[in-house]
């Protein structure tokens, strides 16, 4: 599947500091983990497209929202529809990549545990006074804990949780149950289209993406499409980037040759992935 997406984290008790007397203090204050990529300003003699700045970088980061999330270090925005969830189609975040086109996702909006659906996993966002053990949680409840409830909450009113499930990419920006979409724009066009595959550096769209028999492919979830009998030869590949989709923005792919990549130029166009910054 290529390199999977980085998952942005913020460690609340990581790192080492030294006191004024030389003592080592560990754990220390929170530090960002996999927050992004080295920006252009930190590289030796970098060359990058004129619309970018030294603070920008190529590449995208998936992952749940965290204290580290900012305009400088955004994460991928997704639209999800977790099967059997009470939320239905709703904005979501990626928790983990499960394959080339399959992700463990969570809704961004939290639900009242009283509305939880037995068998649909939850990620606790506020412990409150909810009786999580009565819902099927084993062990202590904490923010970020994921478990599969056996029942809705029977007592307590101040706890909240996101619904969690596995979804598969589709070309439909309004995905049905079990599917999800990630959108992007390219060439200065504000029109959003869906991603068929996304790694931490590149993305592919659905145009030119077909089954082995030549029929159009619009979701990996259809019939035998998960068997890998897919023709990728017509797909367009873009360099994934959060900061610009300005018309004409291109970069040279490492190792590219003019007669073998992008037909004539050896360059690859930038596409802007939809993002969260807060």
Buried b (16+ CB within 10 A) or exposed e, 162-190: bbbbbbbbbbbeebeebbbbbbbebeeee
User: Given CA atoms 31, 35, 37, 42 in this order, what sign does their dihedral have?
Assistant: negative
Q: In the structure encoding, which two tokens stand for residue 166, read together? A: 């596995």
**Quick one: 219 exposed, middle or buried, by C-beta within 10 A (0-12, 13-18, 19+)?**
buried
Tokens describing residue 157: 């009113």
Give the span between the Cα atoms of 25 and 229, in whole angstroms.
Answer: 55
pLDDT band at 216 (very low <50, low <70, confident <90, very high): low
Give this prediction's pTM: 0.82
Written as six digits, the tokens of 168 are 């598969």
Going by C-alpha positions, the residue among 262, 271, 265 that lies closest to residue 206 is 271
DSSP-derived 3-state class of residue 93: strand
Task: Report in angstroms the alpha-carbon separations of 129 from 137, 159, 242.
Answer: 14, 6, 39
**Cα 91 from Cα 183, distance rounded (Å):** 12
Cα–Cα distances in angstroms (integers) from residue 6 to residues 70, 109, 256, in the given order? 16, 22, 25
User: pLDDT by residue (tens digit) across 224-252?
Assistant: 444 444 555 556 788 888 877 776 677 76
Q: What would the pLDDT profile of 177-208 be if each residue is shown by its tens digit? A: 999 999 999 876 778 899 988 988 888 888 76
């Amino acid at each position: 599947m290529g390199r999977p997406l980085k998952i942005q984290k913020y460690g609340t008790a990581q790192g080492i500091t030294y006191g004024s007397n030389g003592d080592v203090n560990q754990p220390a204050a929170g530090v960002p983990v996999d927050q992004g990529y080295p920006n252009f300003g930190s590289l030796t003699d970098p060359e990058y497209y004129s619309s970018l700045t030294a603070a920008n970088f190529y590449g995208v980061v998936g992952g749940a929202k965290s204290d580290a999330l900012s305009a400088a270090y955004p994460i991928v925005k997704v639209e999800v529809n977790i099967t059997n969830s009470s939320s239905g189609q709703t904005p979501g975040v990626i928790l983990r990549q499960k394959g080339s086109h399959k992700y463990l996702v969570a809704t961004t909006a939290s639900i009242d545990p009283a509305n939880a659906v037995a068998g649909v996993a939850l990620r606790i966002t506020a412990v409150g006074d909810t009786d999580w053990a009565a819902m099927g949680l084993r062990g202590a409840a904490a923010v970020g804990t994921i478990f599969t409830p056996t029942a809705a909450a029977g007592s307590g009113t101040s706890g909240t949780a996101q619904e969690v499930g596995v979804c598969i990419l589709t070309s439909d920006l309004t995905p049905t149950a079990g599917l999800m979409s990630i959108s992007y724009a390219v060439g200065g066009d504000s029109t959003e289209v869906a991603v068929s595959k996304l790694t931490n550096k590149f993305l592919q769209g659905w145009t030119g993406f077909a089954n082995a028999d030549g029929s159009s492919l619009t979701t990996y979830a259809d019939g035998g499409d998960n068997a890998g009998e897919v023709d990728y030869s017509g797909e367009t590949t873009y360099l994934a980037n959060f900061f610009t989709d300005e018309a004409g923005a291109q970069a040279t792919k490492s190792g590219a040759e003019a007669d073998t990549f992008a037909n004539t130029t050896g360059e690859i166009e930038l596409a802007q992935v939809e993002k969260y910054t807060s």
